[in-house]
Amino acid sequence: MAINQSLSNGLKILNTIAEHGPELGVREVARLLSLDKSKASRLLLTLAEAGFLEQNPATRRYRIGPTTFEIGQKYTRANPLYNSCYDELHELAERESLNVYLCVRSNNVMLYLYAIQGAQPYVLRINTGVTGQLHTTAAGKVLLAAMSDEELQELLPKLSFNRLTPYTILNSRSLMADLRNVRSRGYSISDEENLVDIYAVGCPIRDASGNVVAAISSAIHKQRQEKDFFKHMQIVTERCAGIISSKQGALPGAAFGNLPRRAAAT
């Protein structure tokens, strides 16, 4: 089936600015997408005219515009998963004073469908719609652990393995060892791997077929926290994920029961 090349290039521009931004100029877009400069300029102007991009008047560079943001917000609110877990996520955040997130995988990154700032003395602000690393975040590890061995073999070479903190996992072999632990115990941990002083627990959301369709995570600053509280975080996050999974029709059972027991080494 033939595709509309101009539309395809326009969508690629949106993805490129989202990935390499926050702002890109005409020359940068043309170079990254191997486009003629004049063609890139016309596409950028068209997208800006429709509100999908906006141009910084001081630098003449382009960034994601309000129309793109509005569409993203409508996607989140139209997602049945968002609607079915809204109350549980808020209750968890408010009762335990935790930051709570609902996430899905989007190719080789994690997408935050929903983010709640709990009542903590330190603000850890992550906005809905932003992306995060799969290998450093608790929710991201859950989403990786839910993939088949064949899918992981294809995806892992595409991960950046950037060092975000002194505790970040830096290679696929170490990550696979961690994912085997996630599959075995049914939840993940990110202990200062994504942000220094941040401890997070991730748990899977399963549907009626038992497949993992999303992940939730809870996070807190480690400062002045008793060690016993981290175990409590795991318990309450797993309980919340279980309630949400039951709303999706999932039966009680192993969190990663639909997957082979051993993750392949790389």
Do 125 and 171 reside in the same domain of the chain? yes
pLDDT exceeds 70 at position 124: no
The reply to whether 166 and 50 lie within a common domain is: no
Share of the chain above pLDDT 70, in %: 92
Confidence of residue 122 (pLDDT cuts 50, 70, 90): low
- CATH number for the domain that contains residue 21: 1.10.10.10
Please state the rounded mean pLDDT for residues 186-196.
96
Read off the amino acid at residue 227. Answer: K
Judge residue 104's burial from the number of C-beta atoms within 10 Å of its C-beta, 0-12 exposed, 13-18 middle, 19 or more buried.
middle
Single residue among 25, 42, 65 that ends a domain in this structure: 65
Same structural domain for residues 183 and 120?
yes
Q: Is residue 252 part of a domain?
A: no
CATH classification of the domain holding 151: 3.30.450.40
* Model confidence, pTM: 0.77
Count how many domains the chain has: 2
pLDDT of 263 over the 50 cut:
no
End-to-end CA distance of the chain: 36
What's the domain range around 115? 79-247
> Is residue 34 domain-shared with residue 89, that is, in the same domain?
no
For residue 260, is it within any domain?
no
16 and 48, same domain (yes or no): yes
At 266 the three-state DSSP class reads coil
84 and 209 part of one domain: yes
Q: Cα angle at 266 between 142 and 150, to 5 degrees?
A: 60
Regarding whether 116 and 193 lie in a shared domain, the answer is yes
Average pLDDT, the chain: 89
Q: 190 and 135 in one domain?
A: yes
Q: What is the pLDDT of residues 144-157, one digit of tens each?
A: 999 998 999 999 99
Same domain, 35 and 118: no
